[in-house]
Amino acid sequence: MRSAVFALLVLIAGADTAQAQAWLTVADAEGRFRLEIPVPFDLPSSQVEPDGTVTFAYVHETPELALRFEVADQGEAVQALPTLVSRVWDSERMVQMRSHVAGRRTYRMVAIFPLELEGDPMILRFMQSARYRDDRN
């Protein structure tokens, strides 16, 4: 009986490990930001706007969840603002955003998910993971 219980516990522990989400810590070369993002994620090509703003993003998407960390470098410094947080929802999706400005750089974290995932540990971990170095260049 003990061996059957032990085998069952090993199977449960193995299944839990298989369902665990893998994470990766990413940062820019200058050390201006660091965050944790679930794997797999994409790093689409940067985009250059007509005003010279360069934007790139780290994106993790599943059918029910999208997590994005966007970085925009403006041509000149922007007035530093406190971290801004917003939440908007309709009958199907919640959009949660957090923005941070440091010098010429604006960072935005975005989570888009169905209402039933509100409070999900994966979303919370992502939204709370970003760390910034506030330099003014």
Mean pLDDT score of the chain: 80
Give the right CATH number for 22-132 from 3.30.200, 3.40.50, 1.20.120, 2.40.30.
3.30.200
Contacts made by residues 113-120, CB under 8 angstroms, sequence distance 24+: 113/64, 113/65, 113/66, 114/64, 115/89, 117/64, 117/65, 118/94, 120/65
Model pTM above 0.95: no
Question: Using one digit for the tens of pLDDT, what is the confidence trace for 32-46?
Answer: 999 999 999 998 778
Nearest-angstrom CA–CA distance, 46 and 69: 13
Could you read off the pLDDT tens digit of each residue along the chain, which spans 137 residues? 443 333 333 334 333 433 578 999 999 888 899 999 999 999 877 888 887 788 899 999 999 999 999 999 887 766 666 666 778 888 789 999 999 888 888 899 999 999 999 999 999 999 999 999 865 44
Q: Is 129 helix (H, G, I), strand (E, B) or coil?
A: coil
